[in-house]
Structure 1
Amino acid sequence: MTLDRYRSVADRLLGPWVTAAAKLGLSPDQVSVVAFGITVAGGGAFAVGTAAFYAAGAACVLLNGWLDLVDAALARRLDVASDGGDLLDHVLDRYADIAIIAGFTAGVDAYALGFLAVTGVLMTSYMGTQIQAVGIGREYGGLLGRADRLALMGVVGLVAAVYPAPIVAGYSVVDLLLALFAAVGHLTAVQRFLGAWRDL
């Protein structure tokens, strides 16, 4: 994971957003739901697969990533962090991952690759929580964290808006992103499993 290292920098930029959410009377859970709705819209835009919709989808994904930080910062500001809020956030994050990858998959008609990508991403997250469930502690190790994935999806959406044609061996930038998620996702899941197995 690379972008997670800069979370403290992002936290310093969140102030105006957190203040605005608090003034609007939004709870952290409500911010999470709004972020999820934006992501579903982004997945739908990617599924259309045209330049304008790729750009719109990229904006939605990047906004989702930012709001995902806002809800946590708002919970700290209001001192209302809870297990229920954490559960909701994780569940919506997983559904958001599915929506975005499904949108990319439909947009390039690469369903086998999309299946491998979404299962890789979900298994990465599952291994993290399952390791926690057996008492070892939450595992965040791996090559691509969620922040990294969101950034990549946003950038790829923007690139696809400008150049949707195949770039390598008949594969578009979206195809290559799905292949990356498939390979790295399953590799990370295995890496987390082996690390946890050694710690048991």
Structure 2
Amino acid sequence: MTLDQYRSVADKLLRPFVSAADSVGLSPNGVSVLAFGFAVAAGVAFYVATPLWYALGALFVFLNGWLDLVDGALARRQNVASDGGDLLDHVLDRYADIVILAGLAAGIDNYALGLAAVTGVLMTSYLGTQIQAVGLGREYGGLLGRADRLALVGLTGFVAAFLPGELVAGLTLVGLLLVLFTIVGHLTALQRFWGAWSDL
């Protein structure tokens, strides 16, 4: 399962948003920073962990993900795509992942589970870029890519607003999501590693 395979469809849906960003004078780097701002807002909202703030956090996550698509498309439209912009985008994406997951973990007061989840997520992303670094191309595949994770966080935030409390083994819905990210994140990282190793 990976939503990244639908990037071409997303690119078509992005066109009006890219045009709007271009018309108001936004730069791709500016959009990347704005996207990160929404990630920070999501982390804070999830830390507060009330139903209203869970719903707001979900909205902020979706805005982060959408703007993360807009920045690249805007760079191509303005013909200013660069290694520097790509670097900034990747760095802010990783910090966004950290702050969102940290907020989720802090909101349920389970920092150990948050650490396990964030390492799985970071290793998945690291393997994607490291595979590119050894000349095999950027790897987006696997069990859960970043688009999948953001979609799941957003959906979980909305559902958690209406479904508080423990569900399974003393874990809330958010806790179960972090368990999923822990297990699947590390499995995805290993899947990417094995696929790349086989291609070397």
TM-score (normalised: structure 2): 0.96
Shift of 1:197: 2.1
- Match for 1:127: what amino acid? L
Q: 1:2 and 1:192 mapped to 2: Cα distance?
A: 13
* Aligned counterparts of 1:90 and 1:193: Cα–Cα separation in 2: 19
Q: Which residue in 2 is equivalent to 1:93?
A: 93
The change in CA–CA distance for 1:87 and 1:153 in structure 2 (over 3 A counts) is same
Mapping of 1:67-86 within 5 angstroms?
A: 67-86=67-86
Offset at 1:11? 1.5
Q: Deviations over 1:69-107 (max 9, x none)?
A: 111111111111111111110110000000100000000
Alpha-carbon spacing, 1:146–1:77, altered in 2? closer, same or farther (3 Å)? same
The TM-score normalised by the length of structure 1 is 0.96
Runs of 4+ with deviation above 3 angstroms: none
The structural deviation recorded for 1:136 is 2.5
Report what 1:6 is aligned to.
6
Deviation (angstroms), 1:151: 0.4
1:41 aligns with 2:41: yes
Partner in structure 1 of residue 104 of structure 2: 104
Partners of 2:40 and 2:198 lie apart in 1 by: 38
Letter matched to residue 8 of structure 1 = S
Shift of the alpha carbon at 1:43?
0.4
Q: CA deviation at 1:167?
A: 1.5
Q: Which runs of 5 or more residues in structure 1 are unaligned?
A: none
Indicate the larger mover: 15-24 or 107-116: 15-24
Measure, in 1, the Cα distance between the counterparts of 2:8 and 2:138: 19
CA distance in 1, matches of 2:142, 2:37: 28
Q: Aligned pairs, how many? A: 200
Partner residue in 2 for 1:179: 179
Moved more, 8-17 or 23-32: 8-17
1:149 matched to 2:145: no
Counterpart residue number, 1:15: 15
RMSD of aligned Cα (Å): 1.1
In 1, Cα distance between equivalents of 2:136 and 2:8: 25
Q: Return 154-163 or 122-131, whichever deviates more.
A: 122-131
Q: 1:178 to 1:69 in 2, by over 3 A?
A: same
Query: Displacement of 1:17 after TM fit?
Result: 1.1
Structure-1 separation of matches of 2:96 and 2:73: 20
Q: How many percent of aligned residue pairs carry the same amino acid?
A: 72
Q: Aligned partners of 1:38, 1:124: CA distance in 2, in Å?
A: 22
